[in-house]
Amino acid sequence: MIEQLWKLFIKSVSGKRAKEFGTAIWQEDRWFSDDRYARTIDWYLNKMNELGLKEVEGVDLPADGKTSFGGVVMPKLWTAKEATLKLLSPVEAEIADYHKVPCGLMLYSSATPKEGEVFTITEEGQISKDKALFGRISPQQGHEMILRGGVRILISDFLTREEGAKEDAVQWHNFTVNPFYSKDALGFAICASWAEKLRRLLAQGKELTFLATSDTQTQEGVVALPTGVIPGLTTEEVIITGHLYEQGMDDNACGCGLGLEVMGVIADLIAQGILPVPRRTIRLLPSYECRGVQTYSNLYAQREALAGIGLDEVASEKSYAISLFKTPYANPSATDYLLAHLLRKACHNFGRPEYQTKPFSVNDGLLSDPMIGTPTPWLGTLGSNKPYYHNSLDGPDVASTETLTMVGTMAATYVYFLANASSEQARWWTKITVEQLKKESPSPFRLGKIMDSFLPFVPAEERTAFKHYLKTSCQSVPTSLAGFDQPATSVRKEAESIRPQRHFRGLVGFDDLSSERFEDYCDTFGEPPWWISADWLNEVLFLADGQRTLYEIYQILSQEELKLDLEKTLKYVLFLHRTGKLSFRSKDHGTD
Distance of alpha carbon 288 from alpha carbon 347, whole angstroms = 30
Reported as type and span, the H/E element at residue 2 is helix 2-12
Cis previous bond, 252, omega within 30: yes
Q: What is the CA angle 514-516-519, rounded to 5? A: 105
- Burial zone of 205 (CB within 10 Å; 0-12 exposed, 13-18 middle, 19+ buried): exposed
- What distance lies between CA 543 and its chain's CA centroid? 21
Alpha carbon 578 to its chain centroid, in Å, reads 27
pLDDT in tens, 238-269: 999 999 999 999 999 999 999 999 999 999 99
First to last CA, the chain: 52
CA-based nearest residue to 229, from 238, 220, 221: 238
Helices 253-271 & 34-50 angle (0-180, nearest 10)? 20
Q: Nearest to residue 67, comparing CAs of 178, 243, 222, 286? A: 222
Kindly tell me the sign of the dihedral angle through the C-alpha atoms of 575, 362, 295, 75: positive
| DSSP characters over 125-173 | TS--TTSEEEES--HHHHHHHHHHH---EEEE---S--TT--TT--B--
Q: What is the pLDDT of residue 383?
A: 67
Is there a contact between 331 and 262 (Cβ–Cβ < 8 Å)?
no
pLDDT of residue 384: 72
Spans in the chain with pLDDT lower than 50: none
Residue 382 is predicted with a pLDDT of 77
Confidence at residue 590, expressed as pLDDT on a 0 to 100 scale: 66
**Do the Cβ atoms of 297 and 61 come closer than 8 Å?**
no
Q: Where are the alpha helices (DSSP H) in 172-314?
A: 192-203, 253-271, 289-299
pLDDT for 589 equals: 59
Contact 462, 423 (CB under 8 A): yes
Q: Which residues contact 476 (CB under 8 A, 6 or more apart)?
A: 434, 438
Q: What pLDDT is stored for residue 364 in this prediction?
A: 79
User: 359: helix, coil or strand?
Assistant: coil
